[in-house]
Structure 1
């Protein structure tokens, strides 16, 4: 699976392209801006972008009206086709947001039910009761997603709904040549639907990647050979920023070992979960860290740990953004152009290092040195051994351990040296030591 060796870059198009928050019905080709960033993304080393919703919707994109039409605020289908061609020419793959759990109240089939009630051929596409009423006074009750009644839950156990959604996926592949899907709220999706989707996509476009949004629970339930290739690793997301803010590296080390460690009971060995330090739903990492010296170190862990790294647009240069109690607008800004800096340069190096390292892409995980402020872990495959060393403290530290032995090349700086039972870790440092 190509996705396991690549770094992803997540964009929330409605915000990124400066579109109105509410659908104003005016067609403007704002989505072309994504194509204008393709050279920057190629230089950064991005293997694929993840685009949050781009299809016609009522407001934020997750309230879909039409799965086969690009949102007019972003442009036309032809505009997006042009963007996809440009991205592919710059060796950047495209993953779209598959919002299959629910639609907006403006969705064409739901509007048919509003008009025709019992007589609508689409009444069984949703979870509807004509014995009740909705908060919108529709004359019937329907299930909304987690109590959000602007999001109408689809009935994925209805074969007609599944056939329709798969037909939309076929359309996206044939029309835009996309390479994968992020499945919104994958934890809510019908498992048989996901099995059918996996088989359908693999037959249509071998190597098509499916990555699910999962917040909690056992990821093995949906990340397996029958369903999804990967899912979001929220456990380690929390562990990364929390370890730095509490100056307790035991938290992230515990999560990583629990998931990927050498012991028989470790739960996700051999899997490639999607890792991130922020995204479109959470406060940006630059705003959540209490010590700004830790910002580069979070990426040191992100690219060194098992799984697939994903960067949220703007965070690669340390953009700030705080989630508000009632909206996410501050998390989804419009930038005139990329603003690369020293952090961006570091991330660019880490992307190359990881892509070219079998140990970092596919190797096992093992904690070597662990203190409150320092963490050294080993990534080892059959062909390579890499030590990742993070010092979150404000002073130098010398780590001692019998496993710290042998000649090495430091992959970030290119320096070479020899370890004989100890490793000097400068304050606020990241080291990737390839052991010879």
Structure 2
């Protein structure tokens, strides 16, 4: 396995297409003639202006409802459009230098998946495509108890062939990689048989697995993924900020350092499955802190569409509970208030900082000062190249002084932060209450 070199510079802008273009939930459903997928394409200039290098799409394949109940992996969802719309999207992205990541569900399928319908009709070959329910030998296993999501049998050679062919098919159509949904529910041996076959044909493709918790490096090694979703760090960021417990964040970053010895995780503070960070955080002043951590630590960052405008949205465990975090977008540009414009500018600045310091892709962090509500960490390039940033986060009501000589640095350039003068060189700095600073030693 060789991770493609382009991922070292990747910053994703993530879109959930069915919600983004108002195709789900809606009644009546849009028709292919509406070509709604092209609404996503209209936003590519925005992604470029943001500083992203790629667009990570949610499901675009035929399904009945939310996209994760696939009925045909070879067909664009008719609510989004058709093959021509997909081809236009790929061309428009690549013309702007944007990569495209697709989202594939291969743990389970929807009830209208052709082989599932055949299995219900008694086709013996189709029956072998699906796992049996442990307590119901005559029924099929489902994904986490969802009766509309039918679990595939990942030991079936035909299923292995099918998934490998689907992955290769869309890479051949111009996609640059895949997010593998619910990969944690699939035996690693399945991916270890599928992915090498696809890589043999598409060696420049990148594969990131959705994994919530567990042995991340072990899963990467056993399955052959390039990366996994870094939910541990996501949780530690917002939880530490809400609880005033930077020890939790520091512990997660120590774990993160270990992961970086093996692979570069997909990092995020928001996605289509979680409460918006601006809603998740109890104090709106700390949204910037979360973004600073994301952009100054190792990994492959992803920005969920709308977070760059400080969108709010609560995920709820009920029918329709994802709707608030998957809203429809109109045509660009969106009208935003001063707070939204300020958040967008902060995203642009921090993404630009990361682009100017590409070593951050594999940067390791270490604490220079740590207590419950104030945290100063050093983010440094792997190896002995000398690149370093100092990141100070303050959640207290009091200013947080920084004396650089006491930390082993003669001087540093004050790059950014709350109330920071532009590009000032200093031996001392002060982080205001509920604020942050980034310094670059020299």
Asked if Structure 1 and Structure 2 have the same fold, meaning a TM-score greater than 0.5 normalized by the shorter chain, the answer is: yes
Q: Write the distance in 2 (CA, Å) between the matches of 1:195 and 1:416.
A: 51
> What secondary structure is seen at the aligned counterpart in 1 of 2:347?
helix
Q: Write the distance in 2 (CA, Å) between the matches of 1:285 and 1:120.
A: 48
Q: Write the distance in 2 (CA, Å) between the matches of 1:97 and 1:385.
A: 35
Q: Write the distance in 2 (CA, Å) between the matches of 1:335 and 1:129.
A: 40
Q: Write the distance in 1 (CA, Å) between the matches of 2:434 and 2:84.
A: 48
Answer yes or no: is 1:398 the counterpart of 2:395: no
Q: TM-score, normalized by length of structure 1? A: 0.91
1:235-260 deviation line (CA, Å, top 9, x unaligned): 11111111111122121112112331
- Structure 1 position 270, deviation (Å): 4.9
Alignment partner of 2:239 out of 220, 239, 242: 242
> What secondary structure is seen at the aligned counterpart in 1 of 2:360?
helix
Residues 44-63 of structure 1 mapped to structure 2, 5 A cutoff:
44-63=50-69
- Structure 1 position 227, deviation (Å): 0.7
Residue 108 (structure 2) aligns with: 102
Note if contact 1:391-1:429 (Cα within 8 Å) is conserved in structure 2.
Answer: yes
Answer yes or no: is 1:387 the counterpart of 2:381: no
Residue 329 (structure 2) aligns with: 335
Q: Write the distance in 2 (CA, Å) between the matches of 1:131 and 1:423.
A: 64
Residue 415 (structure 2) aligns with: 411
Q: TM-score, normalized by length of structure 2? A: 0.90
- Structure 1 position 120, deviation (Å): 3.8
> What secondary structure is seen at the aligned counterpart in 1 of 2:329?
coil
1:350-383 deviation line (CA, Å, top 9, x unaligned): 1111122144222222111112222111122232
1:265-318 deviation line (CA, Å, top 9, x unaligned): x45435311111121111111111111111111101111122121111101110
Q: Write the distance in 2 (CA, Å) between the matches of 1:200 and 1:431.
A: 46
- Structure 1 position 404, deviation (Å): 4.9
1:145-166 deviation line (CA, Å, top 9, x unaligned): 1111100001111111111111
- Structure 1 position 194, deviation (Å): 1.5
Note if contact 1:407-1:416 (Cα within 8 Å) is conserved in structure 2.
Answer: no
Q: Write the distance in 2 (CA, Å) between the matches of 1:341 and 1:25.
A: 32
Residues 204-243 of structure 1 mapped to structure 2, 5 A cutoff:
204-224=201-221, 227-243=224-240
Consecutive unaligned residues in structure 1, runs of 5 or more: 134-139, 261-265
1:7-27 deviation line (CA, Å, top 9, x unaligned): 111111110010032784732
- Structure 1 position 132, deviation (Å): 4.9
Alignment partner of 2:267 out of 245, 251, 275: 275
Note if contact 1:303-1:354 (Cα within 8 Å) is conserved in structure 2.
Answer: yes
> What secondary structure is seen at the aligned counterpart in 2 of 1:121?
helix
> What secondary structure is seen at the aligned counterpart in 2 of 1:67?
strand
Residue 26 (structure 1) aligns with: 31
Residue 185 (structure 1) aligns with: 182
Residue 263 (structure 1) aligns with: none
- Structure 1 position 74, deviation (Å): 0.3
Note if contact 2:393-2:435 (Cα within 8 Å) is conserved in structure 1.
Answer: yes
Residue 45 (structure 2) aligns with: 39
Alignment partner of 2:314 out of 305, 315, 322: 322
Q: Write the distance in 1 (CA, Å) between the matches of 2:423 and 2:188.
A: 49
Q: Write the distance in 2 (CA, Å) between the matches of 1:428 and 1:400.
A: 19
Q: Write the distance in 2 (CA, Å) between the matches of 1:11 and 1:148.
A: 24
